[in-house]
C-alpha cells in the first residue's frame, strides 16, 4: 500500500505562511516605525 | 568607518532607501512566488510538493544570513565601538527569527508529503531549531540590555558572536552526518537543479533578501527614534541640563 | 591616533576568541559524528550489527529489482544498499509516496535474528537533484546529464 497524498494543501499552507507572514511583518514593522518617528518629531517640536 | 556614526547622517540615507528596497523586493518576491506556484514545473519524483522550495530555501538563507548580520554587527560593536552597530544587530533579530521559524514551518509542510514525516530529530532540523532558540534568547537579552543601558549591550554582542558557531554546523550538518535532509543543490559554480527550478528560486531569494534589508532598516529607524525620544524626555526631566 | 592601539588589541582578541569558538564548535560536531547521524548505513550495520531488540534506523538506496510484495498484500521486502553492503528489509504498512526502487529510504525498526531488518516505519529520502516532470521518461542518469547540459 502506497500512501496517496494530495500535495496542494501543503503547498498552499506554506505559501500562505510565507507570503502572509512576510506581509504581516512588513506592515507591523512599518506601523511601529512610523509611530516611533512621529513620537520623536512631536517631542522635538515641543 | 565612522562616517555613519551620526544617526542624522544614517537617517538621511535610510529614509529614502527603505521604500527603494521594500517595493522592488515585494514585486520580485511576489512574481517569483506566482511563477513558482503556477508556471514552474513539477518535479519528476516529488511532484507538486517541490513548489515549497520557493518559500523554504529563501527562508533558510535569511534565517542564517540574519545571524551572520548579528555576528558582524556584534564584532563591529566590540572592536570599533560603533554606535550604530548594536542598533543594527538588534534590528536584524526580529526578521531573522521570523524567517527561521518560516523555514522550520515550511520544511515541516514539505517533509510530510516528501519524507512521510512532519518532523525528525535529524542534524539539519535540530541545528535549525537551535538557531530559532538562539534568536529568542538574543531578543530577550538585547531587550534587557537596552533597558539597562551603558555597557550591558556588550553582553548581547558577545552572545551574537558565540551563536555564530551554529551557522557552519547548520550548513555542514547534511555533509558530516547521515541525514534525512538532502545535501545542498546549489553551490559555487554547480547546480543539481534544472534551470526551470533554479531561476524562480534565485528570483524568490533575491526578492525576500531585499524585503529583509528593508525590514532591518525599518527596525533600525524604530530603535533610533525610540532612543532619541527617550533622550529628549530625559533632558526635559532634568530641566535642560544634560546628564552624562 | 591614540584610539588605534586599544581598538587593534580588541580586534585581535575578538578574532582569537572567535577562532577558538569556531574550533571548539567544529571539534564538538566532529566528536558527535556517530551520535548525531540520523541513521546507520548498511555497511555500518554489517560491520557492527545492533542488538536484536534495539530500535535503530537504517538508511540507503532501495536496490533496483529488489522490491517484492508478499502474498498478504501489505508486506513488502526489499534490499537496502550503500554500494558496500546489502541488508534485506521487511515492512508492513503504508509506504510514503516517494518510496520507490533506486531512491533513498530510511527504515526505522530492529534487526531480527536472521539478519533481516524489520521496519516499523519508512521515511523517503530524496536527493538534491531536481528534474522537471517532462523529463520523467528518462532514467535518473540521463536526466542528470540533461540538467548538467542545460544549466
ipTM for this model: 0.93
Residue-averaged pLDDT of chain B: 89
Name chain C contacts of A5, Cβ cutoff 8 Å. 97
Answer yes or no: do B165 and C40 touch at CB < 8 A.
no
Q: What subunits make at least 3 CB pairs under 8 angstroms with C?
A: A, B
Cα separations (Å) of B232 from A41, B221, B226, C103? 10, 16, 10, 65
Which is more confidently placed, C3 or B136? B136
Sorted by sequence, the CB contacts under 8 Å of residue C16 that are 6+ apart come out as none
Q: In this structure, what are the phi and psi dihedrals at residue C109, rounded to the nearest 5 degrees?
A: 170, -150
Instruction: For residue C128, give the nearest of B50, B78, B192 by CB distance.
Output: B192
pLDDT tens, position by position, C11-40: 787 778 778 777 877 777 776 766 677 888
Question: Is residue A13 within 8 angstroms of chain B, CB to CB?
Answer: yes
Residue extents of the structural domains in chain B:
20-38+48-182+194-226
- For chain C, the C-alpha Rg in angstroms (whole number) is 23
pLDDT tens-digit map of B105-134: 999 999 999 998 999 888 899 899 999 999
* Per-residue confidence (pLDDT) for residue B1, from 0 to 100: 39
Domain map (residue ranges) of chain C: 1-36, 42-125
Query: So what's the pLDDT on residue C146?
Result: 54
Which whole-number Å values give the CA distances from B105 to A20, A43, B140, C129, in the listed order? 13, 42, 22, 22
- The verdict on C78 touching A (C-beta cutoff 8 Å) is no
Domain B20-38+48-182+194-226 is of which CATH architecture?
A: Up-down Bundle (1.20)
Chain B residues within 8 A of A43 when measuring between CB atoms: 229, 232-233
CATH H-level, domain C42-125: superfamily: Nucleic acid-binding proteins (2.40.50.140)
Q: H-type helices in B39-180, by residue range?
A: 53-80, 83-114, 123-148, 153-163, 166-176
Collect all residues of chain C within an 8 Å Cβ-Cβ radius of residue B189. Answer: none
Per residue in C42-73, pLDDT tens? 888 888 877 777 888 999 999 888 888 888 88
Residue B108 forms contact with C (CB below 8 Å): no
Residues 181-240 of B with CB under 8 A from C: 182-185, 191-198
Helix (H) or strand (E) holding C108: strand C104-111
Q: Do A1 and C93 touch (CB under 8 A)?
A: yes
Amino acid at each position: 500500500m502506497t500512501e496517496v497524498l494530495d500535495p496542494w494543501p501543503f503547498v498552499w499552507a506554506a505559501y500562505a505562511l510565507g507570503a502572509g507572514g512576510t506581509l504581516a511583518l512588513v506592515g507591523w514593522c512599518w506601523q511601529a516605525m512610523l509611530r516611533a518617528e512621529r513620537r520623536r518629531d512631536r517631542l522635538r517640536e515641543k | 568607518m565612522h562616517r555613519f556614526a551620526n544617526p542624522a547622517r544614517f537617517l538621511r540615507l535610510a529614509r529614502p532607501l527603505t521604500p527603494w528596497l521594500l517595493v522592488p523586493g515585494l514585486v520580485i518576491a511576489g512574481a517569483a512566488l506566482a511563477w513558482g506556484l503556477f508556471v514552474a514545473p513539477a518535479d519528476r519524483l516529488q511532484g507538486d510538493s517541490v513548489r515549497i522550495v520557493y518559500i523554504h530555501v529563501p527562508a533558510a538563507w535569511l534565517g542564517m544570513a540574519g545571524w551572520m548580520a548579528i555576528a558582524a554587527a556584534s564584532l563591529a560593536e566590540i572592536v570599533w565601538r560603533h554606535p550604530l552597530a548594536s542598533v543594527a544587530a538588534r534590528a536584524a533579530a526580529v526578521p531573522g527569527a521570523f524567517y527561521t521559524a518560516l523555514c522550520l514551518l515550511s520544511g515541516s509542510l514539505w517533509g510530510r508529503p516528501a519524507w512521510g514525516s512532519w518532523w525528525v530529530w535529524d542534524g539539519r532540523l535540530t541545528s535549525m531549531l537551535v538557531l530559532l532558540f538562539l534568536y529568542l534568547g538574543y531578543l530577550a537579552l538585547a531587550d534587557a540590555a537596552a533597558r539597562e543601558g551603558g555597557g550591558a549591550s556588550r553582553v548581547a554582542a558577545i552572545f551574537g558572536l558565540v551563536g555564530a558557531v551554529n551557522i557552519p554546523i547548520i550548513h555542514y550538518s547534511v555533509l558530516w552526518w547521515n541525514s534525512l535532509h538532502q545535501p545542498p543543490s546549489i553551490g559555487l559554480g554547480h547546480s543539481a537543479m534544472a534551470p526551470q527550478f533554479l531561476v524562480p528560486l534565485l528570483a524568490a531569494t533575491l526578492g525576500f533578501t531585499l524585503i529583509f534589508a528593508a525590514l532591518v532598516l525599518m527596525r533600525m529607524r524604530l530603535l533610533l527614534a525610540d532612543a532619541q525620544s527617550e533622550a529628549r524626555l530625559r533632558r526635559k526631566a532634568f530641566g535642560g541640563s544634560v546628564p552624562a | 591616533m591614540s584610539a588605534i592601539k586599544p581598538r587593534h588589541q580588541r580586534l585581535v582578541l575578538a578574532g582569537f576568541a572567535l577562532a577558538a569558538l569556531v574550533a571548539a564548535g567544529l571539534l564538538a560536531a566532529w566528536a558527535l559524528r556517530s551520535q548525531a547521524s540520523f541513521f546507520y548505513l548498511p555497511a555500518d550495520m554489517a560491520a557492527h550489527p545492533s542488538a536484536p531488540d534495539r530500535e535503530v534506523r537504517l538508511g540507503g538506496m532501495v536496490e533496483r529489482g529488489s522490491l517484492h510484495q508478499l502474498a498478504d498484500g501489505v508486506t513488502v521486502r526489499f534490499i537496502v544498499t550503500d554500494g558496500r553492503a546489502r541488508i534485506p528489509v521487511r515492512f508492513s504498512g503504508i509506504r510514503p509516496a516517494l518510496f520507490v526502487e533506486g531512491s533513498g529510504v530510511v527504515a526505522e525498526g530492529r534487526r531480527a535474528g536472521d539478519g533481516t531488518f524489520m521496519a516499523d516505519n519508512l521515511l523517503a529520502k530524496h536527493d538534491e537533484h531536481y528534474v522537471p516532470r517532462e523529463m520523467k521518461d528518462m532514467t535518473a542518469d540521463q536526466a542528470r546529464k540533461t540538467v548538467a547540459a542545460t544549466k
